[in-house]
Amino acid sequence: MRLSLCHRCLHLTLLIIFLVAACLCPLTSAYYPPKVERLRCMACVPSIDDTTQLDQFRVRQKLSEPRCAMEPVKCRAEQDACATITMQVSMNRYWVGAGCDQRVNYDIPADKHGCAEMATLTRSWLPGYVEERRAIQKICVCTGDLCNAGVSEGSSVIFISCLCLLAWLFLSAVTT
């Protein structure tokens, strides 16, 4: 059975709406988080030789890129925010911290969610001297359930792939 051009357009339109909705769902979950009893945040997956844990906040110190593999953690009752902090400590070496914290610990305005870059001074105590280095920390704070999962580069690749698929479907429908 051959479909008329109008039916093809209707099917194509429904398919496009479905694919766009499927691609955008991960992006919108950070803006409209579900209500939960206790906040859950994403924290760096610990590694034996380079992880420091402070309550439900984990810091990875020896990373070659500014991201870490993450897993969900349940926050304590007084922890009301999720945070992710990234800092380049030397060439091709990054420090990433992520997990639960208190919103009051950050200078980002209380009614704002998002990221800010802040200058910081790092110190390394070495035998005989202290090394100081200036660095920029990227600090991202939010208050929704699992909100610091963020939009990773992987999900933007998926989004771009969905857009390319939509364009191909549209062009193939128009040319047939």
Same domain, 137 and 171: no
Per-residue pLDDT tens over the stretch 132-164: 878 888 999 998 899 998 744 444 445 555 555
Same domain, 19 and 75: no
Per-residue pLDDT tens over the stretch 61-94: 999 999 999 999 999 999 999 999 999 988 889 9
Same domain, 19 and 76: no
Same domain, 81 and 48: yes
Per the CB < 8 A criterion, the answer to whether 89 and 134 are in contact is no
Alpha-carbon separation of residue 92 from 51, 121, 130 (angstroms): 18, 18, 22
Range of the domain at 49: 34-148
Token pair listed for 61: 């110190």
Same domain, 17 and 88: no
| Number of structural domains in the chain | 2
Q: What's this model's pTM, rounded to 2 decimal places? A: 0.61
Same domain, 38 and 106: yes
